[in-house]
A and B are shown apart, each in its own frame.
Chain A
Amino acid sequence: GAVVSQHPSRVICKSGTSVKIECRSLDFQATTMFWYRQFPKQSLMLMATSNEGSKATYEQGVEKDKFLINHASLTLSTLTVTSAHPEDSSFYICSTLRGPDYEQYFGPGTRLTVT
């Protein structure tokens, strides 16, 4: 069964608005979650590492004030795209680690379209 869930699966918003994407670990606690962004026909780009109870660590080139990450509990991390622009349209995927080998599990992704 699914290990990581994401909501919503698809969202359309207008330029200038903010959108929140939720990522939940199912039946286990995730102290660390990762947020990726995927452009059409391209690979996954790591945006940030979300740590429960502390500030997220952002990759170089990712605007932390635009992509707000909150990891307030051991099962939930949220990514908020603030003041969205059409260039923010993308597929966003969250991921977490589980097990003794730190196997990485991925959410089903959220397709964001900014009009």
Chain B
Amino acid sequence: AQSVAQPEDQVNVAEGNPLTVKCTYSVSGNPYLFWYVQYPNRGLQFLLKYITGDNLVKGSYGFEAEFNKSQTSFHLKKPSALVSDSALYFCAVRPYSGNTPLVFGKGTRLSVIA
């Protein structure tokens, strides 16, 4: 069965500092990996995805993520955090392309402090 682990419930970072939100996955076959962000009382917004190709994926709002197959990780990163980045971040995986729903991690709350 596929699963996603986000080991940190909360990440605090000072504005302007780099941020990392961790994600590891378990899936049979090639993973399709995603990051979403959720603001209070809102739906999920797509940030980026890894399907194939370059391990470093660039997404919306200056975020990027690096796919590491040997470590089965897909950590989300940003070089310089903004206060407006404060939100709930979800990592998700789909085991294969097709009509199947994403499996989500439990989420990590990011707080960027001015």
Interface residues of A (CB under 8 A from B): 4, 6, 31-32, 34, 41-44, 46, 49, 91, 93, 95, 97, 101-109, 111
Is B97 a contact of A42 with CB atoms below 8 Å?
A: no
Residue of B42, B46, B101, B109 near A103 (CB, 8 A) is B46
Query: With contacts A43-B107, A46-B101 known, is A104 near B41, CB below 8 A?
Result: no
Is B102 a contact of A104 with CB atoms below 8 Å?
A: yes
Is A93 a contact of B44 with CB atoms below 8 Å?
A: yes
In angstroms, Cα B104 to Cα A106, docked, is 13
Nearest-neighbor residue (CB-CB) of B106 within chain A: A43
Categorize the interface residue count of chain B. 20 to 34
Residue of A32, A43, A106 near B99 (CB, 8 A) is A32
- For A91, the chain B residues whose CB sits under 8 A away are 41
Minimum Cβ distance to chain A for residue B42 (Å): 6
Nearest-neighbor residue (CB-CB) of B32 within chain A: A101
Is A103 a contact of B106 with CB atoms below 8 Å?
A: no
- For B94, the chain A residues whose CB sits under 8 A away are 102, 104
Is B104 a contact of A44 with CB atoms below 8 Å?
A: yes
Q: Pull 7 A–B residue pairs with CB atoms less than 8 Å apart, ordered by A.
A: A43-B107, A49-B101, A102-B97, A104-B101, A104-B102, A106-B36, A111-B41
Minimum Cβ distance to chain A for residue B7 (Å): 14
Is B101 a contact of A101 with CB atoms below 8 Å?
A: no
B residues 40-72 near A (Cβ < 8 Å) are 41-46, 49, 51
In angstroms, Cα B102 to Cα A97, docked, is 10
In angstroms, Cα B100 to Cα A32, docked, is 9
Minimum Cβ distance to chain B for residue A23 (Å): 11
Is A42 a contact of B107 with CB atoms below 8 Å?
A: yes
In angstroms, Cα B20 to Cα A55, docked, is 42
Minimum Cβ distance to chain B for residue A40 (Å): 11
Is B49 a contact of A101 with CB atoms below 8 Å?
A: yes
- For A107, the chain B residues whose CB sits under 8 A away are 43
